[in-house]
Chains A and B, each alone.
Chain A
């Protein structure tokens, strides 16, 4: 069964500090991996998307890494801000076929940045 496991479940950090969120997946065959940010009660917003051949992708203070051999990804947030408080969701695409595909979502890591 395709699964995406994220850790930690929740995290509290001080403003200005860095943090790293983890994602392990068992989805196979693997097409791409995405990280989304979801503010409470809002729709998820895409941060990064990586194919199996990419090792790292940055978007401002967000840097995602991918190790397709160990099926692990991480999202590193640098110099955290209060606005980074949100759930961060790891999403894996199991197919590369056109038209029809289902993404497998992790349950997310809830990040709280405190002053």
Chain B
């Protein structure tokens, strides 16, 4: 157990629907990062939150949004889902710059 908790582990939904992925960071970590990993692809950075505020944005689609709550957990909202959104979505957390990221186990999203 890495200490970063992601729920649900698996999600199957239809095109056009909206889903919410949840992440609880490791205790003491203020930064939360969201990544997308499509089949046989590298991890693509989506967005970072630090202590409740958005800090950096990557290749995140307008249909996707995220937020970090006062208790530091984060949610990634995916709407108007398309088949191409099927992927593993990872959350990671960190304390600072020189420490390594800690990744969660991911949520496997399948859009049918």
Interface on A for B, CB 8 Å cutoff?
Answer: 31-32, 34, 36, 41-46, 49, 51, 89, 93, 96-103, 105-108
Complex Cα gap A42–B6 (Å): 12
- Inter-chain contacts of B16 with A (CB < 8 A): none
Interface pair A101/B97, CB less than 8 Å apart = yes
Interface pair B45/A46, CB less than 8 Å apart = no
> Nearest CB to that of B108 among chain A residues?
A41
- Inter-chain contacts of A96 with B (CB < 8 A): 97
Complex Cα gap A54–B26 (Å): 27
Range of interface residues on B (Cβ < 8 Å): 20 to 34
Interface pair A31/B97, CB less than 8 Å apart = yes
Q: 17 new A-B pairs (CB below 8 Å) besides A43-B104, A97-B97?
A: A31-B97, A36-B103, A41-B88, A43-B90, A43-B103, A44-B103, A45-B2, A49-B99, A98-B96, A98-B97, A99-B31, A100-B48, A100-B56, A101-B97, A102-B48, A102-B58, A108-B42
Q: Please provide the chain B residues from 40 to 79 with a CB less than 8 Å away from any CB of chain A in the complex.
A: 41-45, 48, 50, 55-56, 58
Complex Cα gap A45–B4 (Å): 12
Query: What 1/0 flags go to B99-112 for Cβ under 8 Å of A?
Result: 11111111010000
Interface on B for A, CB 8 Å cutoff?
Answer: 2, 4, 31, 41-45, 48, 50, 55-56, 58, 88, 90, 92, 96-106, 108
Interface pair A89/B2, CB less than 8 Å apart = no
- The distance from the CB of A27 to the nearest CB of chain B, in whole angstroms, is 13
Complex Cα gap A34–B92 (Å): 14
Complex Cα gap A93–B101 (Å): 11
Contacts known (A43-B106, A102-B56); A49 close to B98, Cβ less than 8 A? yes
